[in-house]
């Protein structure tokens, strides 16, 4: 009873026309930012996260505390726990699901392939089954990834491009997720929007990502490994600042449209959409390191090696005109400015602020 009350309080809507959103992966990087932004504008939010140890769980706990201080409950549980999901839908008639829980990272797929199947395939299907049976059915916005473009060499990537050459198991599970969600859309009338995020970075970010681990190593005086692609070309990424991604997530939730099914039965056509959410200005990795050095006021020890062919693609570059047209998506933070905010957060979170050689 106490638990149900907490869930209901967290899902409480504080604006007219607001939504109640189940955010999966709420203790994650993107999930925590999206949850806070929804809550701040008056929407109801309940989080779900399994707090796995793919990276430092204490960072996830810290994000959970931050959310809790804003009145957001993050329920600890796994996407594959159908009973728990059904219980959440019994307590709250969620209007929307923002599905951000996943096994992320391309290289870890070589160490632990089954974790990708567990979260990105089986977990997704479990969630969709519960949404399908819910009454009313929520509309779903979920995170796909720019990695679905794989070894596609036509840039910028547009949503209509081929996505038939995934370069990692991670990419393959995201591509599979697009097929699975499309199926639930046309069979059961679930409204689905897939967002292909392009390398998201910022405060409270993910320690396994390059900008984060580079920062850690530079500050600790350890070398950083920079990959070079074929013909000694530099890898480049369309780095996208978290606040821009959050705006894209909220914009797509607002325009996601109603599901048309009820209790597992379809009534009419519901929207199925896919959008790129990127920054449209790729930066190469050596330049990323230069910017970090400037912000940290510490020189990096560079160790440049040939890319080992472990799932990284040579470059990414988003065409964002579809998201621009659909919900006015317009990224406004460049890498220089965004990394400054990340570094400021990093130094304060890890207690570097009293050191002499860093600001």
- Name the residues annotated as catalytic: 170
* CB-CB contact of 121 with 173 (8 Å): yes
In whole angstroms, what separates CA 219 from the centre of its chain?
A: 26
Report the residue number, 25 or 248, with the smaller CB distance to ligand NAD. 25
To ligand NAD, the closest distance from the beta carbon of 58 in angstroms equals 12
User: 94, 190 in Cβ contact below 8 A?
Assistant: no
Q: Which is nearer to ligand NAD, 96 or 206 (CB)?
A: 206
Contacts of 311 (CB under 8 A, 6+ apart): 106, 107, 109, 110, 167, 168, 169, 170, 171
Q: Nearer to ligand NAD by C-beta: 197 or 329?
A: 197
Q: How far is the CB of 114 from ligand NAD (least distance, A)?
A: 12
Strands (E), 178-260: 192-197, 200-201, 223-228, 236-237, 240-241
Return the number of the residue (245 or 296) whose C-beta is nearest ligand NAD: 245
Closest to ligand NAD by CB, 22 vs 260, is 22
Nearer to ligand NAD, 29 or 188 (CB): 29
The nearer residue to ligand NAD, 87 or 258, going by C-beta atoms, is: 87
Residue 43 beta carbon to ligand NAD: minimum distance, rounded to whole angstroms: 19
Residue ranges of the alpha helices (H) in 71-209? 82-91, 113-116, 123-133, 169-188
Q: Tokens 């959440």 label which residue? A: 88
Residue nearest to ligand NAD (CB): 28
DSSP letter (8 states) at residue 119: I
Neighbouring CB atoms inside 10 A of 353's CB total 11
Quote the least distance from Cβ 197 to ligand NAD, whole Å: 4
Alpha carbon dihedral 239, 318, 274, 193, in 10-degree steps, equals 30
Q: How far is the CB of 98 from ligand NAD (least distance, A)?
A: 10
Q: Considering the complex, what minimum distance in angstroms separates the CB of residue 46 from ligand NAD? A: 13
Cβ-based neighbour number of residue 315 at 10 Å: 17
Q: In what order do the strands lie in the sheet with 44-49?
A: 73-76, 44-49, 20-24, 96-99, 139-145, 192-197, 272-277
User: Residues interacting with ligand NAD, by CB under 6 A?
Assistant: 25, 27-31, 48-52, 60, 78-79, 100-104, 119, 123, 143, 145, 197, 199-200, 206
Q: Closest approach of Cβ 224 to ligand NAD, in Å?
A: 18
Bond prior to 156 in cis (omega within 30° of 0): yes
The separation between CA 353 and the C-alpha centre of its own chain, rounded to angstroms, equals 29
Q: In whole angstroms, what is the distance from residue 117 CA to residue 167 CA?
A: 16
Q: Is 316 left (phi over 0), alpha (psi -120 to 50) or beta?
A: beta
């Amino acid at each position: 009873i106490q638990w149900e009350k907490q869930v209901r309080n967290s899902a409480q809507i504080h604006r007219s026309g607001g939504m109640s959103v189940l955010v999966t992966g709420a203790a994650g990087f993107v999930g925590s930012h999206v949850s806070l932004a929804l809550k701040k504008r008056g929407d109801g939010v309940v989080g779900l996260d399994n707090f796995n140890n793919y990276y430092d769980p204490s960072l996830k706990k810290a994000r959970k505390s931050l959310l809790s201080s804003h009145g957001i409950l993050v329920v600890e549980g796994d996407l594959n726990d159908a009973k728990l999901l059904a219980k959440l839908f019994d307590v709250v008639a969620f209007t929307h699901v923002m599905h951000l829980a996943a096994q992320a990272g391309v290289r870890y797929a070589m160490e632990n392939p089954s974790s990708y199947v567990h979260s990105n395939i089986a977990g997704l299907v479990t969630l969709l089954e519960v949404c399908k049976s819910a009454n009313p059915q929520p509309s779903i916005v979920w995170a796909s990834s720019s990695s679905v473009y794989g070894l596609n060499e036509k840039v910028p990537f547009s949503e209509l491009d081929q996505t038939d050459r995934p370069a990692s198991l991670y990419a393959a599970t995201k591509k599979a997720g697009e097929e699975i969600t499309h199926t639930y859309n046309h069979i059961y009338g679930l409204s689905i929007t897939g967002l292909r995020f392009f390398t998201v970075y910022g405060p409270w970010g993910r320690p396994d990502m390059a900008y984060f681990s580079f920062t850690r190593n530079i500050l600790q005086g350890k070398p950083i490994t920079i990959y070079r692609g074929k013909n000694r070309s530099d890898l480049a990424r369309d780095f996208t600042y978290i606040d821009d991604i959050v705006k894209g997530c909220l914009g797509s939730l607002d325009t996601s449209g109603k599901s048309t099914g009820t209790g597992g039965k379809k009534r009419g056509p519901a929207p199925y959409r896919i959008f790129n959410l990127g920054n449209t200005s790729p930066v190469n990795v050596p330049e990323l390191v230069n910017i970090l050095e400037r912000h940290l006021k510490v020189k990096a020890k560079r160790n440049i090696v040939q890319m080992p062919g472990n799932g990284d693609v040579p470059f990414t570059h988003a065409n964002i005109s579809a998201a621009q047209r659909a919900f006015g998506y317009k990224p406004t933070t460049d890498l220089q400015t965004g990394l400054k905010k990340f570094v400021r957060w990093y130094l304060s979170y890890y207690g570097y602020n009293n050191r002499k050689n860093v600001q």
